């Protein structure tokens, strides 16, 4: 059960970066086996989570209800993103990063090579100052899986490097072990219940009004 939040925030919504489909194959190959959140989360880097409660509303189209981002939320995000041009990141896989929560709980992840993610997140955090439930310093990361021991961590790290290396087959031998990504959008994702999968309800392009 998610811990209780103020009414204006929700663990059922997030503002995030989602990697493009051309680099998700090696990511999902690992997550499918090692990430307990695989069924609920797409591959992502959270910028603000938990995010504002109920950021979307629905429009009836025939018999279907189509969710879309509320205009006031879109306006606030665009107020920030229009000042940030698209940028390039490399998700570094040699070695993958590790968060050690305790002796038997660790998360292995890929981190971006540039400070542009931190700069974008800081600007969004300033605009959405009410999204302050997570007081930890922001470390941009794309989680790939969990491990319960140091040995498990090393095994998972080696598996990640192998998956990325296989994806890069045909590249020059000295090519860095990383996944390249042109970041040009941010996404609002939302789920109906805590066991449901997050879905995109809003897409906002960087550098545009």
User: What is the per-residue pLDDT across 117-143, written as a single tens digit (0 to 9) for each?
Assistant: 999 999 999 999 999 999 899 999 999
Q: Give the C-alpha separation, 54 to 67, whole Å.
A: 11
First to last CA, the chain: 38
pLDDT at 3: 63
**How many Cα atoms are found within 13 Å in the side-chain-facing hemisphere of 199?**
12
For residue 61, the model assigns a pLDDT of 77
Q: Which residue has the higher pLDDT, 42 or 174?
A: 42
Percent of the chain with pLDDT over 90: 86
Cβ(161)–Cβ(94) below 8 Å: yes
**What are the residue boundaries of the structural domains of the chain, listed by start?**
12-52+61-205
Q: Does domain 12-52+61-205 have CATH number 3.90.1300.10?
A: no
Contact 141, 175 (CB under 8 A): no
Whether 2 has a pLDDT exceeding 80, the answer reads: no
Non-local (6+) Cβ contacts of 52 within 8 A are 8, 9, 10, 13, 73, 128, 130, 131
Query: What does the pLDDT average to over 91-97?
Result: 95
Residue 1 has pLDDT above 70, yes or no: no
- pLDDT digit string (tens) for 64-77? 788 999 999 999 99
β-strand 9-10 against 56-61: which pairing, if any? unpaired
């Amino acid at each position: 059960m998610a811990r209780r939040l103020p009414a204006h925030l929700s663990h059922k919504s997030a503002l995030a970066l989602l990697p493009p489909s051309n680099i998700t194959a090696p990511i999902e190959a690992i997550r499918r086996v090692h990430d307990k959140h695989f069924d609920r989360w797409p591959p992502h880097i959270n910028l603000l989570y938990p995010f504002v409660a109920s950021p979307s509303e629905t429009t009836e189209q025939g018999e279907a209800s189509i969710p879309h981002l509320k205009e006031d939320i879109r306006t606030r995000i665009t107020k920030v993103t229009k000042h940030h041009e698209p940028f390039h990141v490399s998700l570094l896989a040699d070695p993958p990063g590790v968060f050690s929560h305790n002796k038997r709980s660790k998360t292995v992840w890929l981190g971006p090579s540039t400070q542009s993610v931190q700069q974008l997140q800081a600007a969004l955090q300033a605009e959405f100052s009410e999204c302050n439930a997570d007081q930890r310093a922001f470390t941009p990361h794309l989680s790939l899986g969990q491990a319960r021991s140091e040995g498990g961590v090393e095994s998972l790290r080696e598996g990640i490097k192998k998956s990325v290396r296989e994806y890069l087959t045909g590249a020059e031998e000295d090519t860095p072990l990383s996944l390249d990504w042109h970041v040009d959008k941010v996404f609002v994702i939302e789920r109906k219940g805590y066991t449901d999968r997050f879905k995109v309800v809003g897409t906002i392009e960087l550098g545009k009004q």
